[in-house]
């Protein structure tokens, strides 16, 4: 914040809160085309129908780009959330626990969905370059292994909190921003990230798989003398 204050201090800037534009847009439209619109086109909205009409108004679509990366420096995820107006919200995450390539892809998608929910997004187009994760979530591939099933259930639970989510698989070159953030996050290169926040995730988004140890009475085998 101090850096931004120094950079912007030389300009005469004034903060003006954003106002609602829906009603103003209708008024401007009527003023501009009043000669072409019949008075009968105006419809009076009764109070008891106001809430129902707002519910029917379509929610705008947001776009989410996610990617995961694993290398010698560690593992990370990159997230780019694009608003309907074209504003980009970017974030990088560094994982401080063991993850596979597929785990990072799931972690990136899960964290991206959580950010979208925090922003109040209702309709979302999520894009990832992991064909395996996209097809598993969409039901085309079967999830194999208990850890993958936990990631899948966690992802589906978050998707169910939206009004509508479309998960698409894209080419890596069309997911370059998220890919670059994931690589930087895996290396914890905070200097290169600049103003983009770098988060450190200590534990997985899913519960660790509990392994039950089975106690059996020791039996004499050919390994008993070696173990002794």
pLDDT digit string, tens, across residues 18-76: 665 555 565 565 566 544 444 433 343 344 444 444 444 467 899 999 999 998 878 99
Task: Kindly state the DSSP code that residue 46 receives in the 8-state scheme.
Answer: -
pLDDT greater at residue 179 or residue 36: 179
Contact predicate 178/68, CB 8 Å:
no
Contact predicate 149/36, CB 8 Å:
no
Query: Can you tell me whether residue 157 is helix, strand or coil?
Result: helix
Distance CA 117, CA 164 (A): 12
- Find, among 195, 78, 66, the residue nearest to 134 by Cα: 66
pLDDT greater at residue 186 or residue 107: 107
pLDDT of residue 16: 67
Distance CA 103, CA 76 (A): 10
Average pLDDT in the 171-178 region?
91
Contact predicate 78/138, CB 8 Å:
no
- How far from chain centre, in Å, is Cα 64? 6
CATH number of this structure's domain 61-201: 3.30.420.10
pTM of the predicted model as reported, rounded to 2 decimal places: 0.66
For residue 4, pLDDT beyond 60: yes
pLDDT greater at residue 60 or residue 10: 60
């Amino acid at each position: 914040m101090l850096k931004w204050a120094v950079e912007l201090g030389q300009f005469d800037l004034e903060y003006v809160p954003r106002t609602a534009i829906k009603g103003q847009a209708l008024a401007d439209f009527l003023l501009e085309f009043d000669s072409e619109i019949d008075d009968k086109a105006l419809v009076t909205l009764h109070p008891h129908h106001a809430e129902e009409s707002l519910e029917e108004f379509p929610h705008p679509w947001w776009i989410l780009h996610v990617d995961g990366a694993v290398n010698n420096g560690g593992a990370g995820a990159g997230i780019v959330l694009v608003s309907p107006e074209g504003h980009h919200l970017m974030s990088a995450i560094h994982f401080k626990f063991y993850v596979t390539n597929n785990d990072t892809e799931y972690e990136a998608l899960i964290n991206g969905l959580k950010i979208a929910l925090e922003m109040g997004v209702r309709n979302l187009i999520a894009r990832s370059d992991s064909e395996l994760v996209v097809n598993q979530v969409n039901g085309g591939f079967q999830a194999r292994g208990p850890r993958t099933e936990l990631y899948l259930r966690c992802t589906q639970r978050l998707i169910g909190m939206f009004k509508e989510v479309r998960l698409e698989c894209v080419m890596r070159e069309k997911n370059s921003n998220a890919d670059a953030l994931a690589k930087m996050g895996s290396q914890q290169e905070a200097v290169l990230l600049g103003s983009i926040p770098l988060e450190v995730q200590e534990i997985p988004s899913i519960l660790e798989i509990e392994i039950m140890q089975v106690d059996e009475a020791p039996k004499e085998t050919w390994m008993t003398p070696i173990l002794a």
